[in-house]
Amino acid sequence: MPLASTLPTIWVTGLPASGKRTLATAIADHLRVQGQVAEVIDSGRLRRTPLGATLGFSRDDRDTNMRRHAMAAAMLTRNGVLAVVSAVSPYRATREAIRAELGEFIEVWVSTPPAVCAERDQTGNWARAKAGELKGFTGVDAPYEAPAAPEFEVDLTQESVDAAALRVVSFLENRSTPSAELEPDSENLTADLDELGYSD
């Protein structure tokens, strides 16, 4: 289905435990304070649903996961909701393809260094991967292809989450305003997101 929308999708990408989810949540929170309707699409949450649980961590499965996020973002934006995606999304070519399909796409690269990600990781996955107990882990034995020209680069060892979120929100405030604002269609939006496994 066509994905393009007049509203932007904010796509937060980076290594595991880099701070993506925290930043995405902060961006959405600031948008809501300003009266915007915003939702976070959290990759970890989708993988805990029956739909996401069918996916592994091969390249094809990772690409499918990213495409599902893009579909959910398109559903939100077509209904007047700003979508903030938090996902490792390790492959540059797939992110660029999604950018072209969505039309309005703001890429936020959380470039927190790998050593810091590993130190901050509360799941133990970085340590397990380095010990060889977890295979195909992005940043250890699976690649992460950094964005070539993201709209924002955020290193959370050098900048606070709040400051980075406000940079993104300020950018959104200064972008051109669509000619017609959409009113959220809650009933249809809920049904669409149910199909993707985002319902509680």
Catalogue the active-site residues.
89
d(CA 115, CA 126): 9
Task: Give 173-178 contacts, CB < 8 A, sequence gap 24+.
Answer: 173/34, 175/8, 178/6, 178/7
- Helix %, strand %, coil % for the chain, to 5? 45, 15, 40
In the structure encoding, which two tokens stand for residue 101, read together?
């399909």
- CB-based burial, 32-47: b 16+ in 10 Å, e otherwise: eeeebbbbbbbbeebb
